[in-house]
Amino acid sequence: MTSTATALTIRLVRTEEFARAGELTARAYQHSYGGLSEQYLASLRDVAGRVRSGDVWVAVDDGGDRDGSGDTGDGGERAPDGGGEILGTVWVARPNRPLAGIAQPGETDFRQLAVAPEARGRGVGEALTRHVIELARERGSHRVVMNSGPEMTAAHALYAKLGFSRLPEREGRIEVEPGRFIELLAFGYDLEPSGAPAADAGGPAPTWVLQHIDYDDPRAAALRAEMDREVGPRYADRFDETDPEAAARSARAFALDPATIVATVLVTDAAGEPVGHGALRDLAHDGIRDLEIKRVYVHPRARGLGASRALLAELERIARDRGAARVILQTGDRQHDAVVLYERLGYTPIPIYAPYTDYAFSRCFAKPL
């Protein structure tokens, strides 16, 4: 996600950024609370631990080093290699896996929204919160919920501005560290049950048009480029680009020869605007003729509204008509919403298959037809 209003890029944290994102979180909490124990500060710095149970997103200003000195001058956590200045971070639950007891079924919760003290007032916290709301909308959640300490008055004002309401029935006194108790406040932001924006309430369901096109159609290429911009940064740290042999091996594994594509499907809305893309590749392995689903992407504005389901159903129909016994696909361990969608649609996990066997972060699925 890119926020044009704030010139921020919001993406999943990378492994090499864990320490910087953790230090930013600790500094932000010290600025707001003060007097925190070293034990609690250590927990705030533990981004690796948070990633094991949720998704940690960072707001990055890639133009942070404005004078070329290597000093950002505004308090963000700057990458040593110039890879972008981290100004804020937030920890978000994965689908159907709440982070805290405040969350109930059908809700998305988030924790530890943190903005570098010197970067406050630039819209970073608002951009991160809006990102959480959009994630929840894509998942079909009916509410976003979170806890906040009583001292976080600026955050409370932000939540009120965005439309959050207090949930007094979920508030209570907790021990945040040994001997330190606070009255945690609770806030919720209601979404439409369908995942559609409130402005669409009562309107007709979206109409999706499925078109069979050439793989090199410019509309398809544009959607694939958007997919690369969104998904690529999630896995940047998983590839060794410094070793020419490793880089070449990865390029071969994830390359897609257009000659192997047997179908490309474009999803458009009622106005003819492209919103989704998917393809089928003829891939044989283990003595079974499989068709592999590739490059499934739906634009954020069409997520949670049935476009993904319509796209996958059409790809499955094409595969069935071509005589395939099943379809298979590969995704990654940082695309949790995609995994949830596939599982809901009847896809089951299978061992990592070639050409992805060297990439342990792969998650592979199959669905009989």
pLDDT of residue 77: 55
pLDDT in tens, 305-323: 889 999 999 999 999 998 8
Q: Residue 72 pLDDT more than 50?
A: no
45-49, 69-73, 313-317, 325-329: range with lowest mean pLDDT? 69-73
Residue 152: pLDDT band by 50, 70, 90 thresholds?
Answer: confident
pLDDT of residue 199: 39
pLDDT of residue 310: 94
Provide the 3-class DSSP secondary structure of residue 176: strand
Question: In percent, how much of the chain has pLDDT > 70?
Answer: 86
pLDDT of residue 11: 87
Mean pLDDT of 301-308: 84
Does the bond joining 98 to the residue before it have cis omega, within 30 degrees of 0? no
Amino acid letter, 195:
G
Residue 74: pLDDT band by 50, 70, 90 thresholds?
Answer: very low
The CA distance from 357 to 336, in Å, is: 20
Residue 163: pLDDT band by 50, 70, 90 thresholds?
Answer: very high
- What is the pTM (predicted TM-score) of this model? 0.61
pLDDT of residue 63: 60
pLDDT of residue 351: 96
Residue whose tokens read 């499907």:
265
Q: Residue 22 pLDDT more than 50?
A: yes
Per-residue DSSP letter, 143: E
pLDDT in tens, 221-268: 999 999 988 888 878 788 777 788 888 888 888 888 999 999 999 999
- For the sheet with 274-285, list strands across it: 209-212, 261-268, 274-285, 288-298, 326-332, 362-368, 348-350
Average pLDDT, the chain: 84
DSSP 184-222: EEEEEEE--TTS--GGGTTSPPPP-EEEE--TT-HHHHH
pLDDT of residue 6: 46
Token digits for 250? 């990865």
The CA distance from 71 to 77, in Å, is: 10
